């Protein structure tokens, strides 16, 4: 039988042999895992090193600060939404986008993003603004814009609905209810939001 001490030594030796991109990926994955479980305030460079099965010095050589490490971890692990849905109607397209947003929010990388947004102070948040805006917010708004503009072209949506306030409604509502109301956005709630809020908001007058 292999002793636990031998197994631990073997694991440590294997970890120490990792170099370059393989080791960096392990560190970034460990940082995302820490963010998604203990949050920004609980994340430590020591904890990340332990999660990546490497030494603390290997982490600090690449990222001199917690902020630098988290920015790269978010950049590497941000959720991806894929192609803009085109299911034949604005209601169906919005529901598909909402389901993707919900799944992304409650993925490990989604929890990581939310821990940064909710826990960082203003100065710290500035460090991640570009990463989160370009990697999450801007792509989401662009997909919503395309869905709504396509609805306008089909005659489903009023012509003046393609504006920033309308595009913000779904992301703002989902973030608010997930944080303040602890909602996990089951399908029934997504359908209610689209049917009772978005469809009336987008409807042409007289429809």
**Domain limits, the chain:** 4-70, 78-202
Instruction: For residues 87 and 55, give the distance between their C-alpha atoms in angstroms, rounded to a whole number.
Output: 50
User: pLDDT grade, residue 80 (50/70/90)?
Assistant: confident
pLDDT at 2: 44
pTM above 0.85, yes or no: no
Tens digits of per-residue pLDDT, 87-97?
999 999 999 99
Equal CATH topology for 4-70 and 78-202: yes
For 4-70, CATH number out of 3.30.70.360, 1.10.357.10, 1.50.10.20, 3.20.10.10 equals 1.10.357.10
Contacts of 190 (CB under 8 A, 6+ apart): 95, 98, 99, 102
Question: Distance between alpha carbon 8 and the CA centroid of its chain, in Å?
Answer: 34
Flag the least confident range among 40-44, 48-52, 69-73, 132-136: 132-136
Tens digits of per-residue pLDDT, 150-169?
999 999 999 999 999 999 99
Phi-psi region of 169 (alpha: psi -120 to 50; beta: other; left: phi over 0): alpha
**Residue 5, token pair as written in the block:** 């001490």
pLDDT at 18: 57
Instruction: For residues 196 and 199, give the distance between their C-alpha atoms in angstroms, rounded to a whole number.
Output: 7
Length of the chain: 207
Whether the predicted pLDDT of 7 surpasses 60: no
Tens digits of per-residue pLDDT, 27-39?
999 999 999 899 9
117 burial type by CB count under 10 A (0-12 exposed, 13-18 middle, 19+ buried): middle
Flag the least confident range among 11-20, 56-65, 128-137: 11-20
pLDDT at 92: 97
Contact by Cβ (8 Å): 51, 37: no
Phi, psi of 88 (to 5 degrees): 105, -10
- CATH class label, 78-202: mainly alpha
SS3 label, residue 158: coil
> Who wins on pLDDT, 203 or 20?
203
Whether the predicted pLDDT of 121 surpasses 80: yes
């Amino acid at each position: 039988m292999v002793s636990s001490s031998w197994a631990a030594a073997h694991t440590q030796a294997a970890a120490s042999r990792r170099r370059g991109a393989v080791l960096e990926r392990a560190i970034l994955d460990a940082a995302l895992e820490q963010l998604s479980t203990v949050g920004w305030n609980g994340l430590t460079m020591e904890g990340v090193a332990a999660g990546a099965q490497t030494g603390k010095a290997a982490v600090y050589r690449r990222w001199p600060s917690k902020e630098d490490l988290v920015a790269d971890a978010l950049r590497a692990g941000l959720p991806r939404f894929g192609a803009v849905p085109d299911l034949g109607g604005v209601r169906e397209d919005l529901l598909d986008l909402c389901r993707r947003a919900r799944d992304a929010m409650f993925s490990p990388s989604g929890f990581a993003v939310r821990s940064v947004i909710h826990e960082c102070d203003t100065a710290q948040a500035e460090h991640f603004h570009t990463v989160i805006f370009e990697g999450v917010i801007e792509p989401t708004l662009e997909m919503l814009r395309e869905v709504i503009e396509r609805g306008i072209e089909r005659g489903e949506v009023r012509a003046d609905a393609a504006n920033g306030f309308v595009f913000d409604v779904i992301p703002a509502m989902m973030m608010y209810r997930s944080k303040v109301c602890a909602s996990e956005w089951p399908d029934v709630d997504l359908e209610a939001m689209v049917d009772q809020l978005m469809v009336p908001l987008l409807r042409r007058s007289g429809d």
